[in-house]
Every structure is written in structure tokens, then in C-alpha cells.
Amino acid sequence: MIEIDRVRKTYDGRTVVDDLSLTVPDGAFCVFLGPSGCGKSTTLRMINRLVTTDSGTIRVDGEDIASLPEAALRRRIGYAIQSTGLFPHWRVEDNIATVPRLLGWPRGRIADRVTELLELFRLAPETYRRKYPHELSGGEQQRVGVARALAADPALLLMDEPFAAVDPITRDALQAELARIHKSTGKTIVFVTHDIDEALRLATDIAILNRGRVAQFATPQDLLENPASDFVRDFVGTQGIGLKLLSVRKVRERMRPGETAEGAPISADAPLRDALSLMTVRAAALLPVADESGRVVGTIALSDLVR
């Protein structure tokens, strides 16, 4: 759990973070969302003390971060950034091994961990571990960057616009992978972006920041359905709001249990947007819905989407 308590940061008389308070629960995928200059990146960087607070406290798992040695704090928090910051003179395996080496892990354990992480990101270890960053594509570099952040198995991961510099198709794949990894590892992730669709797709909680303050802290669905202010409404965007709502609502919420229908089923955990897309492609107004095991547990109809 991260408790940010009334923190403030001023640069040359300009207040960037203004009395900001926020609590990120364990296991959350918390997205800081806002226009540039809203203080989202600064707030993120305060959590691992790359930026010092002028006042206020930040506690990670109950411990005031100011009371911990800087290096020790950072080594137990994963950190991934835009344009990766991979060390160009180190091979992929050395890059991933950065924090484990700083922590003095034995060689064998580091090598095993590198293999494990490359496999987690679907990069064939024997092909990739000896490569240099410049031999990788942008998406591969970003995967290695995230793998490096996860190397020492931190409970908390900070990500500063990690996918902002990759093309849309790669970004889509990386988002899917990150969602999968969040689900399977249960790590707490704090993720900065200015992309509302990225936030809606990944977040369990979204903090919309404006002028160094929290404009609204809510679940994606709540944010769309009950924007707290005109700023939030404008930022979320009124255009295509219906599609955004479909993308945060799950099939499970609207399905008709017990019924069956023809065709390949859609997952109950898929967003309604996927159901609409599938219906459009199949020219069918009714889809079967399956649970995690693939068993058909109900149906969803076109009219259910707009109920």
C-alpha cells in the first residue's frame, strides 16, 4: 500500500504538486492520468525519491520513505520509463540483472531469473540474452525495460509513460502483456500516462491529476459514469464516451446466465466493447459467453449492451 499524504513540490516558485493525498491499495493497477504539467510524473518520482518532497509524507507498506536509505528504497521498487533507459553498453541479460547484482544475488540465481523474465515476456532466452539493446526493436527494448524493473521481484512497480514511444500496434501488445503480468503476479503498479484509453484499459483505479491536485480518484467505470468535475468530464472526453463505457464494462455484468447460443464464445471477463466488435464481425446479435475454463455459462445480446 502506498499512502501519499499532503505532499507538495515547488520548482522555482511554480507549484507542481499541491497538497496531494492519495492511497494506492495493495495489488492495484493505479494510473496517474492528466495533461502534461499536471504533476503526475513528479508525484510518481517522489515515491522512489528521484524527486524530493518539499512537505508531506509518503509511506510504502507503512514505512515513511524518507526514513529509508535512498538506494535500498529504490532497489525494492521496480522502475520503468519511457524510451526504456536501457544501458546501451550492456547485453540484455546484464540490463535485466542490474538490480539483482546491486543486491548481491548469487550468479546462478541471477541467470535463472533472467531466463524466467525473458520467458515471461515471450523473448526466447537463448536468442535474446546476449543481444545489445540496439539490436532489439522498440517493442523488444520496452519489454526488456519492464523485465528489468521486475528483476528483483519488487512488490511495487513504478512506470512512467513506458509505452509512449512505441507504435500503436506494439503498444497494444505491450498493454496486453502488462495486464497479463499484473493479473498473474498481483503486484502493485503505479503507472503514469496522458492517454485516456491506455488508462481505461489497464487501470483498476485512476487518479486524474490537474495542477498538482487529484481531480478525481475512482475506478475507470465510475470515472466515466460519474465525473466529479467539468475538468474530468472534458479530459475523459465526451466524444466516443459510449465506446469508452463499453470498454470498461465487462460482459459478465450484462450476460444472461444459463442460456446458450451458437458460435465460438466470448470470455465473461472481456469488455463489452469486444462483444460489440465480435457481433459486428459475425453479423450476429447474440453471443455465447464462457467462463475462465472455457465452459459456456450464458449469452449476451446486442440489446444487453445498451441496457
Partner 1 sequence: MPRSVAPHPEERSQRARFEGRAAPLQFLTTPALWVAILFVALLVTMPDTGPIFHWAFPQVEPPVYQRGTFVALFLSHAGIVGVASLAATFTGIVAAIFVTRPAGRDFRSIIDALATIGQTFPPAAVLALAVPAIGFGPLPTVVALYLYGLLPIVQNAVAGIETVPPAVRDAAAGMGMSPLQILARVELPLAAPVILAGIRVAVTIGIGTATIGSTVGALTLGTPIFDGIGGNKIPLVLQGAALVALFAIVTDLMFARLEDRLRPSSAR
Closest approach of partner 1 to the CB of residue 24, in Å: 18
Closest approach of partner 1 to the CB of residue 36, in Å: 17
Phi first, then psi: give them for residue 75, nearest 5 degrees.
-70, -20
Closest approach of partner 1 to the CB of residue 75, in Å: 4
Closest CB to partner 1 among residues 75, 201: 75
Strand partners, 207: 32, 217
CA 20 centroid distance within chain:
21
Q: Which three cell numbers stand for residue 192?
A: 503514469
Give the separation between CA 306 and CA 195, rounded to whole angstroms.
Answer: 25
Closest CA to 292 of 254, 265, 258, 272: 265
Q: Which three cell numbers stand for residue 235?
A: 479530459
Closest approach of partner 1 to the CB of residue 26, in Å: 22
Closest approach of partner 1 to the CB of residue 65, in Å: 13
Give the separation between CA 67 and CA 54, rounded to whole angstroms.
Answer: 15
Q: Name the amino acid, one letter, at 180.
A: R
Closest CB to partner 1 among residues 41, 210: 41
Closest CB to partner 1 among residues 29, 79: 79
Closest CB to partner 1 among residues 66, 285: 66
Torsion angle (degrees, nearest 10) of CA 129, 73, 77, 112? 30
Closest CB to partner 1 among residues 68, 284: 68
**Footprint of partner 1 (CB under 8 A):** 48, 50, 70-75, 79, 81-89, 98-99, 102, 124, 126-127, 132-135, 145, 148-149, 158
Contact 294, 269 (CB under 8 A): no
